[in-house]
Amino acid sequence: MNARYLLAIAALAASGVVAACSSGDPSQILRPGGDDDDTLPGGGNKPSQDNGSTQPGQQDGQPAPGGLPTNSKAGQAFYAKEVHPFLAQKCAGCHQAGGAGNPAFLVRDDAMKSYDMIYLNGFAIATSRIVMKGIHSNGAAPELTGPEKTKFAEWIALEVKDGGSKAQANVLEKFGECFDKAKFDAIGWQNLRVTRRQNGNNPQNLNENQDTCTGCRDNTPCSGCHTADDVTGYVNAIGNTLVPQDFTFQETKKLNPAFIRQYVSTTPTGDPVYNPGVMNKSINTVEKAPAYSHPMFKMSAAMEAANKAFVEDAITKFKAGTCGK
Ligand code: HEC
Ligand code: HEC
């Protein structure tokens, strides 16, 4: 049994949001490891379907993956020879095209491009989501084997050795010191709320019955599920009075669990880049995710602009060496 799945469900149950969605059929409960869109029953995938979201590294002004400079030629060569083959074989089937909550981080036949994309997704760290993820997609996505995890760890060790303080792990570990609390507060994360899917408010015209599904009830705050559930990879506890007032801000700085990844990642030379994680999730929940999966939420362009301003400000301070001063 998938431990991560159990954990997530336990956390959801603890937060009181596992309602008997639909008929109480457990398969209708939000299944973090399973039924996101783009995955057909039985784990098949529709690779031609674009998730309609912006992928890291492919936005305006962001570096394009493939041929980016690296601090570790040895690490890059090791990745191509020892790591890429098993990721391409086991993961590219679903993570080349990507989907809702399903990042595109691989190109099966292009190790160099994949190397850059793993960086641009914030996955080039020892506690990478790639290693931690485990079985998902209803069992169609395998966990890496012990020897594969060892290869991944050897690869990251090479990157850290050659990259020094410019290695992704080091850059992101300290990057939270660059965050400005006032700019973070200006984003207004507490204003994000769940919107029940119903005819006319989503392009797929999905309908959810909010009386039988607590997680999709209109105006459900994100904190219900994102206060203390590390496995979701995201923290938004604003409004939850059980935690300190600056809890969300402080947690957001963390690299382990990699909550910071929703905001920033790096290139292979350790240059921080903006990562619009929450906006991508929003677009996916509106345009692609099925009913009763991750609740729909609509993030405004103004909120996205404030989020980007917050991260760009931190990047500017990082480059100027003024973080934490
Ligand atoms: C059969 C399709 C499929 C395969 C194969 C697959 N994945 Fe996934 N992956 C998904 C789907 C669907 C999601 C989104 C739902 C979720 O998070 O479980 C996802 C999400 C992810 C995420 C992002 C969410 C998070 O928890 O951080 C990571 C990282 C990930 N997969 C890693 C992997 C790795 C590593 C492999 C190969 C060992 C792999 N996947 C193979 C379908 C697949
Ligand atoms: C009913 C519980 C629930 C509610 C309410 C909820 N989430 Fe989630 N969220 C999850 C779970 C479970 C995951 C992990 C699996 C997935 O990606 O769907 C997740 C994942 C995420 C992720 C990370 C995706 C990734 O791949 O890294 C983001 C961002 C996110 N949620 C944002 C939000 C926002 C913003 C809100 C409020 C508008 C919200 N969520 C409300 C349960 C919830």
Q: Is residue 212 within 8 Å of 22, Cβ to Cβ? A: yes
pLDDT band at 10 (very low <50, low <70, confident <90, very high): very low
Cβ of 225 less than 6 Å from ligand 2: yes
Using only C-alpha atoms, the chain has a radius of gyration, in whole angstroms, of 19
- Token pair 């050659």 is at which residue? 162
Mean pLDDT (whole number) for 108-121: 96
The predicted structure's pLDDT at residue 290 = 87
- Ligand in closest contact with the CA of 304: 2
Cβ of 188 less than 6 Å from ligand 1: no
State what percent of residues in the chain have pLDDT above 90. Answer: 64
Chain segment 24-40, per-residue pLDDT in tens = 333 333 433 333 433 33
User: Has residue 52 got a pLDDT over 50?
Assistant: no
User: Has residue 231 got a pLDDT over 90?
Assistant: no
Most confident stretch, 29-38, 84-93, 134-143: 84-93
pLDDT band at 228 (very low <50, low <70, confident <90, very high): confident
Give the whole-angstrom CA distance, residue 161 versus residue 168. Answer: 11
Query: Which of 51, 106, 133 for a ligand 1 pocket mutation test, highest count of atoms within 8 Å of Cβ?
Result: 133
The predicted structure's pLDDT at residue 289 = 85
Query: Which of 5, 35, 36, 91 for a ligand 1 pocket mutation test, highest count of atoms within 8 Å of Cβ?
Result: 91
Chain segment 237-254, per-residue pLDDT in tens = 998 999 999 999 999 999
Cβ of 247 less than 6 Å from ligand 2: no
CA pseudo-torsion sign 309, 317, 57, 277: negative
Cβ of 108 less than 6 Å from ligand 1: no
User: Has residue 297 got a pLDDT over 90?
Assistant: yes
Give the whole-angstrom CA distance, residue 145 versus residue 227. Answer: 31
pLDDT band at 60 (very low <50, low <70, confident <90, very high): low
Distance between the two ends of the chain, CA-based, in angstroms?
A: 47
Cβ of 197 less than 6 Å from ligand 2: no
The predicted structure's pLDDT at residue 92 = 96
The predicted structure's pLDDT at residue 61 = 61
The predicted structure's pLDDT at residue 239 = 86
| Tokens (6 digits) for 260 | 């910071």
pLDDT band at 196 (very low <50, low <70, confident <90, very high): very high
More confidently predicted of 228 and 313: 313
User: Has residue 116 got a pLDDT over 90?
Assistant: yes
Cβ of 87 less than 6 Å from ligand 2: no
Mean pLDDT (whole number) for 141-149: 96
pLDDT, the chain, mean: 82
Cβ of 278 less than 6 Å from ligand 2: yes
